[in-house]
Amino acid sequence: MSWQHTIEQALQQQHARQGWRMRTVHAAADRLPYLLINGQNQLNFAGNDYLGLSRHEAVIQAWQHGLSRYGAGSGASGHVVGYTEVHEALEAHLAQWLGYERALLFNSGYAANQALVQALARKDSVLLMDKLCHASLQEAAAQSDALVRRYGHCRHDVLARHLAQHGARNTLVATEGVFSMDGDQPDLLELRRLCDEHGAWLLVDDAHGIGVCGPEGRGSAAAAGIQADILVVTFGKAVGVAGAAVLCRHSTAEYLLQFARHLIYSTAMPPAQALALHEALHQVAKADAARAQLQANIHDFRQRFVSGSLGLLPSHTPIQPLLCGDNDAVLAAAAALQAQGLWVGAIRPPTVPIGQGRLRITLSAMHQSEHISALLAALEHIA
């Protein structure tokens, strides 16, 4: 078998199982919440820019200011010459704002999760994670030397049994603050209690909670009134930019600086981006009005949704998934919405379990009542 043959065979299989993934080209839209695709405006119900910060004037200006002052790129890994005063200030701000001793910047949430699991999942450690945790956590765990157990989604009773069995070893429990494909949230208070009872550490990946939940948008853990031992926040969603940070104790940060390969062997984020992020986080903290609008939109959508053949999952977050079943049904529903200028994510296995293909509708503070009405009318038609 040749490489060419192997690749073509894999592509054919992907086609045959209706799993083909492709990207859509977007032009610069003139305003939120629109997308510009093939010259047509589409209402964006698929993105994660929940507060509309990607277009915030102050954030854009901060990035521009950073570019003129520090140039386009950082020039090296943070361990070499890529770590600037703006990176340091941003880390200090994050740590202070979220109530941790330290924050470490990463180029993406994907990298942060992989680095964490690689560094912490040692031969003598135990990793217990929710079955629906993000691919970045699952994959790093699968490749690690640790004992890994995935518990059923939010089955904290099952987790408790694993903890009772393995609790004596270095154990890390990993969850998301808001599950990215279901929009639901774990009982963080219960998770914190279980971890404390068994001396385990709790890792919360709050990619979809930061900016959206809790006082000042400090996320799911702040909303639940608990502190995770390790918190991952990402900046490509509600924060509107890109990048991520790990919040942790001082010694954990030093440990990661020694052993996290994604920090050591990767170019640090551009300083201008760090400056833009610093501004974006100030805007996040001040965005109570946008968060209230977002909650009102979520409430409005759920109130007015008329259930037909589509199953709306019980979510109180901006992620509102509609189960459609098989791949054909998901793709047909997404295409019907697109024909009406409504852009919604079509999520299929393996991103979600087989048979649980769904439209992943995301709401933002930028949606207006008539946008939601248009979506609801189209959904009723499909159902």
Residue positions forming the annotated binding site for pyridoxal 5'-phosphate: 109-110, 180, 208, 234
Judge whether 176 counts as a catalytic residue.
Answer: yes
**Can residue 176 be called a binding residue for ligand PLP (CB under 6 A)?**
yes
Judge whether 205 counts as a catalytic residue.
Answer: yes
**Can residue 271 be called a binding residue for ligand PLP (CB under 6 A)?**
no
> For residues 182 and 229, which CB has a smaller minimum distance to ligand PLP in the complex?
182
Read off the amino acid at residue 44: N
As measured in angstroms, the least distance from the Cβ of 347 to ligand PLP is 12
**Can residue 175 be called a binding residue for ligand PLP (CB under 6 A)?**
no
Measured at the CA of 220, the angle between CA 213 and CA 239, to 5 degrees, comes to 55
**Can residue 217 be called a binding residue for ligand PLP (CB under 6 A)?**
no
**Tokens found for residue 313:** 């999952």
**Can residue 262 be called a binding residue for ligand PLP (CB under 6 A)?**
no
Which range, of 38-46, 104-112, 149-157, 299-307, touches ligand PLP by CB under 6 A? 104-112
Distance CA 299, CA 294 (A): 9
**Can residue 273 be called a binding residue for ligand PLP (CB under 6 A)?**
no
According to CB under 6 A, which one of 42, 54, 136, 364 is a site residue for ligand PLP?
Answer: 136
**Can residue 207 be called a binding residue for ligand PLP (CB under 6 A)?**
yes
> For residues 211 and 236, which CB has a smaller minimum distance to ligand PLP in the complex?
236
**Can residue 236 be called a binding residue for ligand PLP (CB under 6 A)?**
yes
Kindly name the residue from 91, 205, 206, 229 that is annotated as catalytic.
205
Largest separation between any pair of C-alpha atoms in the chain: 60
Distance CA 279, CA 300 (A): 30
DSSP output for 127-183: EEEETT--HHHHHHHHTSSSEEEEEPTT-HHHHHHHHHHHTTSEEEEEEESS-TTT-
CA distances, 334 to each of 46, 239, 331, 347 (Å): 11, 27, 5, 10
The site that binds ligand PLP (CB under 6 A) totals a number of residues, namely 14
Residue nearest to ligand PLP (CB): 109
Smallest CA-to-CA distance from 128 within 103, 151, 111 is with: 151
Judge whether 180 counts as a catalytic residue.
Answer: yes
> For residues 233 and 310, which CB has a smaller minimum distance to ligand PLP in the complex?
233
Kindly name the residue from 176, 206, 229, 279 that is annotated as catalytic.
176
> For residues 126 and 239, which CB has a smaller minimum distance to ligand PLP in the complex?
239
Do residues 325 and 355 lie in contact, with contact meaning Cβ atoms separated by under 8 Å? yes
**Can residue 125 be called a binding residue for ligand PLP (CB under 6 A)?**
no
Kind and range of the H or E run holding 88: helix 85-98
> For residues 113 and 327, which CB has a smaller minimum distance to ligand PLP in the complex?
113
Judge whether 198 counts as a catalytic residue.
Answer: no
Distance of CA 217 to the CA centre of its chain: 15
Distance CA 272, CA 264 (A): 20
> For residues 182 and 279, which CB has a smaller minimum distance to ligand PLP in the complex?
182
Distance CA 198, CA 196 (A): 5
Distance CA 339, CA 189 (A): 44
Per-residue string for binding with ligand PLP, 237-256, x by CB under 6 A?
A: -------x------------
CA distances, 374 to each of 40, 304, 305, 367 (Å): 16, 11, 11, 11
Active-site positions? Answer: 48, 134, 176, 180, 205, 208, 237
Q: Which residues bind ligand PLP (CB under 6 A)?
A: 108-110, 113, 134, 136, 176, 180, 205, 207-208, 234, 236, 244
